[in-house]
Structure 1
Amino acid sequence: MTTIAVNGPSPYEVVIDHDLNAGIAKHAKATGADKVMVVHQPAIAEPAAELAEQLRAEGLYVVVEEVPDAEAGKQVETPIRLWDRLGEENFSRTDAIVGLGGGAVTDMAGFVAATWMRGIKVIQVPTTLLAMVDAAVGGKTGINTSAGKNLVGAFHEPSAVFIDLQRLRTLPAQEIVAGSAEIIKTGFILDPVIIERYEQDPAACIDPEGFLPELIARSVAVKAKVVGEDLKEAGLRETLNYGHTFGHAVELRENYRWRHGNAVAVGMMFIAQLSYAQGLIDADVVALHERILRNIGLPTTYEPGHFDELYQAMTRDKKNRHGNLRFVALTGVGNTTRLEGPSVENLRAAYDVISS
């Protein structure tokens, strides 16, 4: 078992191990909850039922709620339905929600917990690699609107996060590849050892029996360090958005049909090219991005002809200030800076390179 402490206003632990249902149930009971709502996606109805049975064995009253898969579950209709159910079941401020699923579920379940009675406990149980290393850790919650992704949300730290490595064995290979983009991101911004592992043996990095468990722990440790120092994204936490400004624009243009990790991978290539043009990094660092991403099957290009639409989406990014686009950029592997107000011409030039 690996346990990583996340410090901050409401400290909690991330537990990484196998077969964690009993531990999840004991933790839920220890929080003082009498009732627990388990929120899950359709594909994991059976694991949700198994977890609910374990929770009931601890003497808890359990409500199980299925929500639409992926980003469809983050539309405003979903939290409205869950709020209504919480009211019907008389959930109080001492009760809890368990978010069991991918990043869309942990985002949305956390948002419902943050807003019900102005905040009840949420226990995050991510079942995808992306959720394990990104969405479930850090207390960011949110839903989507037509204006963009996660523009409506709240900071609401979980009472605990449980990462069950057993679930990696049931994930499709493409889900592991896509989720790896967020691991690679944490390597580029803070932990060069992660980048070394992907250079050393790309296949082992997407193998649940290879480097992947170590990479998950390293990536979570990066996020724990960052959010422990800056929960509400006043400064340092923005570094976790490396590759996300352009990536979120791609997701919006694709109506969220692209996997988040794939969009972030292209976003990292975009900011690498922009940073190179601005003199922040050399060509070797750009080539390193492309090599690592391609070697595990992540995309490094986007189709041409859509700059204006993508640019408009980037102007709505949450990091922007006073009308200026702001990007997290690198000055080298493990070192970040902020690139503020690049010209439209430079942005277009970076796009032209990755879409050529």
Structure 2
Amino acid sequence: MTRPQHFGVVLPAPQASGDERALAVRAALNGRAIVLVGMMGSGKSAIGQRLAARLGLPFVDADAEIVAAAAGMSIPEIFAKYGERYFRDGERRVIMRLLNGGPVVLATGGGAFLDPRTRDRIAERGVSVWLDADLKTLLKRVRRKNDRPLLQTEDPEETLRQLLEARRPLYELADLRVESREVPQDAMVDDTLAVLAAGLPMLEDLRQRAQSRGFAKAMTHLYPARAEGDARRQEIVRVALGGRSYDIIIGDGLLQRAGDYIAEIAPGAACAIITDENVARLHLPTVEQSLKDAGLRATTIIVPPGEASKSLSVYGRVCDDVLAARIERRDLIVALGGGVVGDLAGFVAASVRRGSRFVQIPTTLLSQVDSSVGGKTGINSRHGKNLIGAFHQPALVLADVDSLRTLPLREFRAGYAEVVKYGLIGDARFFDWLDADSDAVFHSQAEQICAVAVSCETKATIVARDETEQGERALLNFGHTFGHAFERLTGYDSARLVHGEGVAIGMACAARFSVRRGLCAEAAAERVERHLKGVGLPTKIHDIPGWRDDAQAILDAMYQDKKVERGALTFILLRGIGQAFIAKSVDANEVLGFLKDELKRT
């Protein structure tokens, strides 16, 4: 057999064979993933499964994960409904999550390795192996299946040839190359193991030689928007609601470009910016200048910070100010701030002129992953939180992770609780990703963009199926039945408890309540609590400073929750991590007994 070559370097012939070689490869991986890249039809899935079995590692197919995340839609259906760009954004986020799970064999889609951010992440967490098949071999294989979205053309053979020609320089950036031949698949696995055994010990040397030859810059002219400047740090999530669909744009530098994005959907519009005193001091001048540069007239309405602004009196005053600014129905209300500002401004937009367009520019982690998405707007009543409001979808959401730098650590942690929620309710792999390296989400913008995008993607999928919370959208309230009760009993005093902290305690309580009801393994609840505590979030009622209320007071507060139906309590509970469900008509005495036991926890 010809010795494998890569970047012009002849690798030494491996000495070990059989299982000894597999053991040597696994040891040399040192916790990294093996990532198979290459064209459709190169054999990544078939070879990957057998390679994983030989190495004793899990096998993951990125395309299968994308289909699962898209609620079972096939890849051709995703392409047809949302387009290739949407698919590539989701693909990148899936791969980022999978690479945090430790050593696996990961088969990627044919276009995944083209994205520079994906290549960077693979280099950080894995070793890339290019399965290089010639055009004749690829044609033979892809003709067996007629579900390749990029080959739905008049001349699939010519299309495949052009794709191979364009992508080859980027596949050449992979760490190692294996020729994908028409031989039995076990023989291909032997070839791959041989290349890995020879290449892994000298991987860093290979990468340095490749970089010195300038391969890292190859073909970036094909993808200028993705490879240069600040556009490289951006994700787009689509909320699919027919004629009211909108984009959530997540990235850095978005406040400076807000005017351009807003002008795209409302050229020449007037804007009423609703914000609070703290956010105005930090970010208002940037947004005002951006709107001015885009030729948009702007009026600013500033409210006091905190939950007190979600009141009937402030709401009435802001409605009057918007009307005084002569904001017409086709103009825009811009919510610049955290969840309080977003909820208030959204309800004002839903009300003024019987419904005005609005844009969410959330500046906290909590609002970026939760309140700015999905169209829930509202204010508080003396009877409870968010009991007065409307469903009113924004026209655009701009989530700038640069704004997260200005958050106190406590506020960032509170927002992180909502990020964790998305993993717990329906995405165990996302929770695994967070659990493996939560510190990265706290300190890396790339990880923050990914975490916000995955959270928004999860919520957008649920909202698209159940916009007005008639069914599964209630899953998004995991931890909230407990958490809202705690907030109400503290009088919404942020010195004692902020929303995300209440949700964190509520999620830990919901997990323990699930164990108590025999629904969930105790180990899962302990893992939830351990993760939340590990990032500094509270997990017990007595973690709330100055707590004095008894179990009956908590139960009474729960009865003001929006999820109460005909006097019966509803909870979101767990059967396991990533397996939440809606539990209706839960017996009040059972809840009361649980709360009494919770109050004994110190």
Structure 2 length-normalised TM: 0.57
Equivalent position to 1:271, from 493, 501, 510: 510
Distance in 2 of aligned mates of 1:50 and 1:124: 15
Equivalent position to 2:384, from 148, 171, 180: 148
Contact kept, 8 Å, 2:474 with 2:582, in 1: the verdict is: no
SS in 2 for 1:62: strand
1:164-211 superposed Cα distances (whole Å, 9 cap, x missing partner): 111122211111111111011110011112211232123223223463
1:13 aligns with 2:247: yes
Name 2:409's counterpart in structure 1: 173
Distance 1:67 1:275, change over 3 A: same
- Cα RMSD for the two superposed structures: 1.5
Distance in 2 of aligned mates of 1:270 and 1:80: 37
Deviates most, 278-287 or 330-339: 330-339
Greater relative contact order (Cα < 8 A, sep 6+) = 1
Q: CA deviation at 1:62?
A: 0.8
Contact kept, 8 Å, 1:39 with 1:66, in 2: the verdict is: yes
Contact kept, 8 Å, 1:133 with 1:183, in 2: the verdict is: yes
1:110 aligns with 2:354: no
1:329 aligns with 2:573: yes
Distance in 1 of aligned mates of 2:549 and 2:567: 24
Unaligned stretches of 5+ in structure 2? 1-233, 543-547
1:300 aligns with 2:535: no
Name 2:321's counterpart in structure 1: 85
Structure 1 length-normalised TM: 0.96
SS in 1 for 2:253: coil
1:209-236 superposed Cα distances (whole Å, 9 cap, x missing partner): 4633322111111111111111100101
Contact kept, 8 Å, 1:124 with 1:160, in 2: the verdict is: yes
Aligned AA (2:530)? R
Distance in 2 of aligned mates of 1:272 and 1:163: 30
Name 2:263's counterpart in structure 1: 29
Distance in 2 of aligned mates of 1:353 and 1:281: 18
1:283-306 superposed Cα distances (whole Å, 9 cap, x missing partner): 011101111110001101113642
Equivalent position to 1:55, from 263, 269, 291: 291
Contact kept, 8 Å, 1:99 with 1:106, in 2: the verdict is: yes
Q: CA deviation at 1:319?
A: 1.4
Aligned AA (2:565)? R
Contact kept, 8 Å, 2:335 with 2:359, in 1: the verdict is: yes
Distance in 2 of aligned mates of 1:218 and 1:31: 24
Unaligned stretches of 5+ in structure 1? none
SS in 1 for 2:530: helix
1:310 aligns with 2:554: yes
Aligned AA (1:264)? V
Contact kept, 8 Å, 1:270 with 1:350, in 2: the verdict is: no
SS in 1 for 2:541: coil
Name 1:76's counterpart in structure 2: 312
Distance in 2 of aligned mates of 1:28 and 1:203: 33
Higher radius of gyration, 1 or 2: 2
Deviates most, 315-324 or 180-189: 315-324
SS in 1 for 2:586: coil
Contact kept, 8 Å, 1:273 with 1:353, in 2: the verdict is: no
Distance 1:160 1:209, change over 3 A: closer
Structure 1: which 4+ aligned runs deviate by more than 6 Å?
none
Contact kept, 8 Å, 2:323 with 2:352, in 1: the verdict is: no
Contact kept, 8 Å, 2:235 with 2:449, in 1: the verdict is: no
1:254-292 superposed Cα distances (whole Å, 9 cap, x missing partner): 111221000001111221122111111110111011111
Deviates most, 76-85 or 21-30: 21-30
Distance in 1 of aligned mates of 2:369 and 2:485: 21
Deviates most, 337-346 or 318-327: 337-346
Distance 1:277 1:130, change over 3 A: same
Distance in 1 of aligned mates of 2:254 and 2:440: 24
Aligned AA (2:594)? A
Contact kept, 8 Å, 2:273 with 2:298, in 1: the verdict is: yes
